[in-house]
Amino acid sequence: MVQNQKSLARPIEMEGVGLHSGKQVRLRVLPAEADSGIVFVRNDAGNALVPASHRLLNGGNLSTTLSRGSVQVATVEHLLSALHGMSIDNARVELDGPEVPIVDGSALPFVRLFHEAGLRSLGKARRFLTLTRPVRVKAGEKEILALPDNAFHATYGIDFPHTAIGAQTVSIEVREETYADSIAPARTFCLLQDVEAMRRSGLALGGSLENALVVGEDGVLNGSLRFPDEFARHKVLDLVGDLALLGAPIRAHLIAFKGGHRLHAALVAKIMSTRSAWSLGTSDDRLPAARLAEFAHLKDGLLPLPVGLAG
Ligand SMILES: [Zn+2]
């Protein structure tokens, strides 16, 4: 059975503060037709439309921002991650401010609302972007290798010179169930020593212990973690969100080390500009095992993942 595109069965609504702007924003996510994709609508700026497309990416490294003309929608990555992770292809996202609410710093509040609203099949086939050749981006020791695969698999390694974080690797096949249980709850994080500098630059004005893990000299200031490797899991959450800008769910194994939004954006740009490296097809179109085997050896030893590739 070919998988069909989905949207929400009914609208969801929430209110919250933007992490960087500190502005209170009301957000609604509404059902949308097949092939319309994810489109942001700035209700406070003449209902300007800002599609979730790599073409409108105006990224920094701390968050992912979309710009169309003078209209921006900032910090889209956690909401896009929830939509991509829960296989919601089409939605109209209305907001009355410049930034998506940060809620608790994870994607779990969005996923819960999507579960409550329910999903609706749209009777039209979902188109997957299947990687057919490896694509690699690198910036110093930061690196992402994307390999052909018939599923969406993410392996993410981080290595912070900080005992509370340290070296962590998470490796997971991203499906609706694994996303909701193992990725969506992972919260964003920052180092206490960086908070003052961010505030001086006019960033993180809405940040608090309610919406980000803050790591101080003696450990996490927020109490207990949701997972021992919550930091690496949040990197996967961000990657799933940034890859939503490809415009179609990806089938590939992403192996990332020390990445961030800027490197994710570079990967998206490189995939889109390397037209020979991917094909669009339905869930029934699969790469033959022999083709996948050609690239399997690249998983060994190419990246200096701190605790090795798991799974
Ligand atoms: Zn994030």
Q: In this predicted structure, what is the pLDDT of residue 217?
A: 86
Q: In this predicted structure, what is the pLDDT of residue 309?
A: 40
For helices 77-85 and 230-243, the axis angle rounded to 10 degrees is 80
Q: In this predicted structure, what is the pLDDT of residue 305?
A: 59
Distance 237 CA to ligand 1 centre (A): 7
Distance 293 CA to ligand 1 centre (A): 33
Q: In this predicted structure, what is the pLDDT of residue 204?
A: 85
- Rounded Cα distance, 175 and 214, in Å: 29
Q: In this predicted structure, what is the pLDDT of residue 73?
A: 96
Q: In this predicted structure, what is the pLDDT of residue 193?
A: 87
Q: Which of 87, 85, 117 is nearest to 14 (CA)?
A: 117
* Topology given in CATH for the domain delimited by 128-299: lpxc deacetylase, domain 1 (3.30.1700)
Q: Which of 73, 2, 71 is nearest to 38 (CA)?
A: 73
Instruction: Using DSSP bridges, classify how beta strands 189-191 and 213-216 pair: parallel, antiparallel or unpaired.
Output: parallel
Distance 297 CA to ligand 1 centre (A): 31
- Rounded Cα distance, 290 and 88, in Å: 31
Instruction: Using DSSP bridges, classify how beta strands 24-31 and 213-216 pair: parallel, antiparallel or unpaired.
Output: unpaired
Per CATH, the number for 4-125 is 3.30.230.20
Q: In this predicted structure, what is the pLDDT of residue 308?
A: 40
Catalytic residue ranges: 261
Q: What three-state secondary structure class fits 261?
A: helix
Q: In this predicted structure, what is the pLDDT of residue 68?
A: 96
Enter the DSSP assignment of 148. E
Per-residue pLDDT of the chain (311 residues; tens, 9 = 90+): 899 999 999 999 999 999 988 999 999 999 999 999 999 999 999 999 999 999 999 877 789 999 999 999 999 999 999 999 999 999 999 999 999 999 999 999 999 999 999 999 999 999 999 999 999 999 998 999 999 999 999 999 999 888 889 999 999 999 999 999 999 999 999 989 888 888 888 888 888 889 999 999 889 998 899 999 999 999 999 999 999 999 999 999 999 999 999 999 999 999 999 999 999 999 999 999 999 999 888 887 654 455 444 33
Q: Which residues surround ligand 1, an ion (CB under 5 A)?
A: 188, 238
The domain ranges of the chain are: 4-125, 128-299
Scanning the structure block, which residue is given the tokens 């057919």? 132
Backbone angles phi, psi at 255, to 5 degrees: -120, 110
Distance 244 CA to ligand 1 centre (A): 14
Scanning the structure block, which residue is given the tokens 């994607």? 107
Is residue 5 within 8 A of residue 33, CB to CB? The reply is: no
- Rounded Cα distance, 177 and 55, in Å: 30
Is residue 256 within 8 A of residue 238, CB to CB? The reply is: no
